[in-house]
A and B are shown apart, each in its own frame.
Chain A
């Protein structure tokens, strides 16, 4: 079957431009990007300060924290599960790392590894319980959300962990370029790596198969349980990293780190075309979705809209984005 002689690239005929154009529009991220460009133009026309250096920097900074988690959440959604405990895990990992560095007086590196370890461990636990015991991810990770919040209070006694070692403040305060620091650099590198893994690797393809139909994936020899548990661990570890970057940014192990992120992350990646039912979406899409949500939130602040309306806008945009995505799929993918 494998005719290795035919390795040459496919012929490019005249129709290929049209096909590529349709293919381009059919790519999930393009729709969101176009919508985002319109929104940016809209906010800028009303208030030119929206595109000020300071505001752009502020948006990108916030996106870097939530975006790191969105990468993991996208991978997990593609594998057919999701995690509501990401915010709790981010907060818990941050305060555990902070406690290790201060109360336990361990080296900074150990503290950071400890924080990542907590995140990965919770991910492993979520994965094992969902996969082996068959408890729905919604229930398990919602439970873990509460457990994590409780543990944050237990670890800290309700007080932020402060002061932190100087090295942490340095990580938070470094300006690599354009006022953006290590969190943004990590976010970009992780996003590119994860997007590549999903798009080009066997591992990525197997994740799509697992999320598309677990039974089919199992029958073609894919260890679906391992993939799902692995995806839960990745989400946990990335949540921990995001939590610790926020801690470095604040210079304190605050007890409210990560609070409320779970819904922002899910809303964002869904706006970016990642399916809640598994097997569809890309990291690029998920990241662009998060960016768009933050652009809207920031834009509404800049043009002076009441904060209550901002929440309403986020809700409307999420539903609209999914609606548009469904229409796009019908037209371009079904029709092509």
Chain B
């Protein structure tokens, strides 16, 4: 199809090294007008380095190779330079100004609209409205960004990148914080841009999205192009194979729910308050997880899934009864939960996972120092040896326990956090999006780890946005909608469609009730 067309934007023989480490070794990459080209690869494969070169973060001169836009050699000195040349970039992290309106965010940095120092509020809103209408997005330009959901914020960021009418748009993991229906909304925006002839580079870890929307895919491995696949040859197994360099026989390791195992976690009538309107709390939740059982909480973003975990862990005030191994526990704080044998792996590594001021080793042992100390003094040798043992056990790749956590890849950061929560050998492990922003190979390591832990009798309760993952991994799934459990099914009794149907049915029922109440 579009491969016959001359490329709009191309990079040839790009090489870059960081202090002796060869990050890219002669990569060729191109994208044609109206094409969505997926850029895949594990963390550390060179994806972000390539993107940073293409969008001017690494300025011309710091790498070798040439970049051509419309058959003209270009070199970008900065991201602003790239933007003004028609190359836009939407970063993975949501960077919005919460106190400003949607329109002001869309035009951030150019609120004068190019003609002077004054802000033309009305014109701004009108122009933002035009961009949204063009994309089929339903967001009021006058609304304050603080009131938007994270999916809407992402759309605002895309709109911001589109202000200068880029011909090339790079999207870095645009769906990382979106749930199923929101991804669909994003895809329809991308399809419109495609129809308008925008060339898009789509960076992602999620293979189903590549299969759904991309026209071509390039897989990077160790700074080189491992394979380039056209749409007609797309195949999930092939992607995983080329990314990891080894064929992963099956996506999810085998696990059977234990029969007759004692109940490890029992929650009765757990109620957690919601917050800021967009997120539901948990309403009268009752659930049981047996020792060695893997239970999933399926539901949309904001359905109250995470709040259930937070309520059990004492992170937020909650009412209800929590029993661990048949004993009633009063959990008012995370430290109560830890004492009861419950551990939580949080969703957002940067915000509430890692301590960036401490090195790798101290990040693993923080909160676990009691057995590694005597009379309040940390025993250096013992700490170091248990850190090294934990890093080996979980395959955390860092140069030393003294290394900074900032430069670890997402996968290694996640394994480090696993090492932290596992150090106390918890009886109940709560995992909130354990594979978010993690490369495919680490993802499989995490799946294997989860199954291994279950085999050792740990009760696992998992929240994940990717339904395929949740259903493949869990012995039993509980479907959460509007803060309630609306459906439950065991392994093999349902798939993604069942979850979506249950959620939709629950929402319809709620609307009907609301309509009844108002009439």
Contacts and interface: CB of A to CB of B under 8 A. Distances in A.
A222 B368 CA distance: 10
Interface in A1-29: 1-4, 6-10, 23
5 contacts: A2-B423, A10-B381, A208-B358, A213-B356, A221-B367
Interface residues of A, number: 38
B369 A216 contact: no
B49 interface: no
A10 B196 CA distance: 61
Interface stretch (B127-135, B202-210, B385-393): B385-393
A156 B366 CA distance: 48
A209 B393 CA distance: 24
Contacts of A221: 333-335, 338-339, 367
Contacts of A219: 313, 315, 334, 344, 346, 352
B393 A334 contact: no
Interface in B376-399: 376-378, 380-382, 384-386, 388-390, 393, 399
A10 B354 CA distance: 25
A45 B335 CA distance: 58
B335 A4 contact: no
Interface stretch (A94-102, A119-127, A197-205, A260-268): A197-205
A334 B371 contact: no
A3 B386 CA distance: 6
Contact of B335 (A2, A201, A223): A223
B371 A213 contact: no
A208 B357 CA distance: 8
Given A200-B378, A208-B357, A209-B366, 10 more contacts: A1-B422, A8-B385, A202-B369, A203-B376, A209-B358, A212-B355, A213-B356, A216-B352, A220-B334, A220-B366
A247 to B, nearest CB: 34
Contacts of B378: 200-202, 205
Nearest to B389: A3
A220 B420 contact: yes
B352 A215 contact: yes
Contacts of A215: 351-352
Contacts of A211: 357
Contacts of A336: 399, 403
A201 B376 contact: yes
Contacts of B380: 200
B385 A1 contact: no
A23 B353 CA distance: 26
B352 A222 contact: no
B338 A333 contact: no
B345 to A, nearest CB: 10
A111 interface: no
B422 A3 contact: no
A334 B376 contact: no
A100 to B, nearest CB: 34
Contacts of A334: 404, 406-407
Contacts, number: 120
B370 interface: yes
A220 B367 contact: yes
A335 interface: yes
B19 interface: yes
Contact of B425 (A1, A4, A335): A1
Nearest to B339: A221
Interface residues of B, number: 52
A315 to B, nearest CB: 27
A196 B397 CA distance: 30
A1 B334 CA distance: 21
Interface string A169-210: 000000000000000000000000000000011110110110
Contacts of B376: 201-203
Contacts of B354: 213, 216
B189 interface: no
Interface of A: 1-4, 6-10, 23, 200-203, 205-206, 208-209, 211-213, 215-223, 275, 278-280, 333-336
Given A7-B381, A219-B334, A335-B19, A279 B355 contact: yes
Contact of A7 (B338, B366, B385, B402): B385
B3 interface: no
B372 interface: yes
Contacts of B358: 208-209, 212, 279
Interface in B3-44: 19
Most buried by B among A8, A215, A219: A219
B4 to A, nearest CB: 45
Contact of A1 (B351, B366, B373, B389): B389
Contacts of A7: 381-382, 385
Contact of A8 (B352, B353, B381): B381
Contacts of B346: 219
A180 B383 CA distance: 40
Nearest to B336: A221
B390 A1 contact: yes
A216 B377 contact: no
Contacts of A8: 381, 385
Interface in B397-453: 399, 402-404, 406-407, 419-420, 422-423, 425
A271 to B, nearest CB: 19
A279 B389 contact: no
A3 B390 CA distance: 9
A2 B372 contact: yes
B362 interface: yes
A213 B355 contact: yes
Interface string B277-294: 000000000000000000
B381 A2 contact: no
B406 A218 contact: no
A37 B388 CA distance: 38
Smallest CB-CB A-B distances: 5 pairs: A220-B367, A279-B357, A221-B335, A212-B357, A6-B385
B457 to A, nearest CB: 15
A222 B367 contact: yes
Nearest to A219: B334
Contacts of A216: 352-355, 366
A4 B382 contact: yes
Nearest to A279: B357
Contacts of B377: 200-202
B390 A202 contact: no
A282 to B, nearest CB: 12
Nearest to A197: B376
Most buried by A among B315, B369, B380: B369
A219 B333 CA distance: 8
Contact of B404 (A205, A217, A222, A333): A333
A331 to B, nearest CB: 11
A7 B379 CA distance: 10
A325 to B, nearest CB: 14
A213 B377 CA distance: 22
